[in-house]
A = this chain, B = another copy of it.
Amino acid sequence: MESRFHQELDQLKLTILKMAALTETALEKGIHALFERDVEIADEVIRGDREINLLEIDVDKYCLRLLALDQPMARDLRFIIGCMKISVDLERIADQAVNVAERAIVLSQSPPLPRNPLMLELAETALDMVRCAISAFVQENVTQARDVCQLDDNADELNVTVLKNLLNYMVKEVPAVERSVQTIIVARCLERVADQATNIAESVIFIVQGMNIKHHCDQ
């Protein structure tokens, strides 16, 4: 029979997985709302954020209880610390999904900007990084976690290019200034999502290997 300690660790992992699933869905929906100009889906993302916030509080509570009552060592300790960090990053990704959804609502009220393939690529990169980071956590897969870290530079470059393109566009299309600025803000939100997915991947490497690769992920 499993000990209470291991049951509680399992419960912690399940809570993170639930949070991860809701966060991934929120980001998918936020991006869908943006590109499809779907206000209803955007509203769903905004309304759904509360549940993710509450799960973050649950994760903190479980972790503190495990640390206080069971004085875990080595890998178990790293797992608990890693979960605390991952839950913060998931909650922030969900916040960015809300930001994207809010901008999607604003943008849906004016004519669409010309289709921008780089924005789509940035959105797909960010979403892909979140999915891979979650999968790396579930499978305790360090190789996959390192792949996520490698993708972060792509997201940064895409964000810079989107900014440059839109600055050029706005000067020629003054009536599109507000829409362009909202899109620049969305691009920055997506780039932040990529950073947070990288943080999650770093936490996975810390849990599995006990290594802190923060601030030199490519080494």
Please list the residues of chain A having a beta carbon within 8 angstroms of any beta carbon in chain B.
53-54, 56-57, 60-61, 63-64, 67-68, 71, 73-74, 77-78, 81, 84-85, 88, 163, 167, 170-171, 174, 177-178, 181, 184-185, 188, 212, 214-215
Contact = CB atoms under 8 A, between A and B. Distances in A.
Residue picked from A61, A77, A81, A184, most chain B C-beta under 10 Å = A81
What are the 6 closest A-B residue pairs judged by CB atoms, nearest first? Answer: A71-B71, A53-B215, A170-B177, A167-B178, A171-B177, A57-B212
Nearest to A53: B215
A48 to B, nearest CB: 14
Given A53-B215, A177-B171, A64 B84 contact: no
Contact of A214 (B57, B71, B74): B57
Given A56-B215, A163-B181, A181-B184, 16 more contacts: A54-B215, A56-B214, A57-B214, A57-B215, A60-B212, A60-B214, A63-B81, A64-B77, A68-B74, A81-B84, A88-B88, A167-B178, A170-B177, A177-B177, A184-B184, A184-B185
Give chain A's interface secondary structure class.
Answer: helix
B68 A73 contact: yes
Contact of A81 (B64, B73, B184): B64
Q: What is the count of identical protomers in the complex?
A: 2
A192 to B, nearest CB: 9
Nearest to A67: B77
A171 B117 CA distance: 26
Contacts of A167: 177-178, 181
A67 B67 contact: yes
A122 B139 CA distance: 44
Nearest to A50: B215
Nearest to A178: B167
A195 to B, nearest CB: 9
A109 to B, nearest CB: 14
